[in-house]
């Protein structure tokens, strides 16, 4: 029978900075399976998740929530095991005393692609909802809005000194979503 993996208390894991001196995400979690917790600049817990590739997940969260991703903690596991990973996540949330916003009311903003329609300006919405527009013209409005929102995200990340290569999925822009490729 395999030995049971112990859940490490979140408080006993060291904080890792989201960005290194060169403005890149640390590559240590690249390709690794495990649970992770993300913290704001003042080290307030924002989100707890798990992934088959923690590095890719951290990168996605950085573009979805650029103002809330400053520190993280991880517990790696050798094999994907949803029950174990959910147990780690639940234990960390319980240790925190309450679910952070990213696991509660803001869950969709942390876990789903950015919905361009929800972030459109009133002018963009009027243009998009114009009854005269055909589907192709609506797609063009979505893509323009997605490019504007992408530029805003990249500007925030640039202010933070992020140098990590970030490539948004061009196909998703046509559907009104914004996420990394």
pLDDT at site 4: 62
Whole-model pTM: value is 0.91
Identify the pLDDT of residue 51.
Answer: 96
Predicted local distance difference test score (pLDDT) of residue 6: 84
Quick one: 25 and 104 in the same domain? yes
Per-residue pLDDT at 1: 34
The answer to whether residues 75 and 136 belong to one domain is no
Closest CA to 64 of 32, 41, 38: 38
pLDDT score for 79: 87
CA distances from 154 to 50, 64, 117, 160 (A): 25, 11, 19, 10
pLDDT at 2: 44
At 102, give phi and psi (nearest 5°). Answer: -70, -15
Range(s) of the domain holding residue 73 = 10-109
From the CB of residue 170, how many other CB atoms can be counted at a distance below 10 Å?
10
Kindly give the parts of the chain with pLDDT less than 70. 1-4
Domain assignment of residue 5, yes or no: no
SS3 132: coil
Q: Is residue 2 part of a domain?
A: no
CATH assignment of the domain containing 39: 3.40.1440.10
Average pLDDT, the chain: 94
């Amino acid at each position: 029978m395999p030995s049971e993996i112990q859940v490490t208390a979140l408080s006993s894991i060291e904080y890792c900075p989201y960005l290194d001196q060169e403005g890149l995400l640390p590559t240590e979690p690249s390709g690794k399976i495990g649970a992770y917790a993300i913290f704001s600049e003042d080290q307030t817990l924002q989100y707890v998740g798990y992934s088959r590739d923690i590095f890719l997940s951290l990168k996605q969260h950085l573009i979805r929530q650029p103002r809330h991703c400053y520190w993280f903690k991880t517990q790696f596991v050798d094999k994907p095991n949803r029950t174990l990973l959910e147990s780690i996540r639940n234990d960390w949330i319980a240790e925190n005393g309450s679910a952070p916003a990213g696991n509660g009311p803001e869950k969709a903003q942390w876990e789903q692609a950015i919905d361009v329609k929800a972030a459109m300006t009133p002018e963009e919405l009027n243009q998009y909802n114009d009854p005269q527009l055909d589907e192709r013209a609506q797609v063009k409005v979505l893509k323009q809005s997605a490019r504007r929102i992408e530029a805003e995200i990249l500007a925030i990340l640039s202010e933070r000194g992020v140098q990590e290569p970030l490539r948004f999925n061009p196909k998703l822009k046509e559907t009104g979503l914004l996420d990394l490729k």
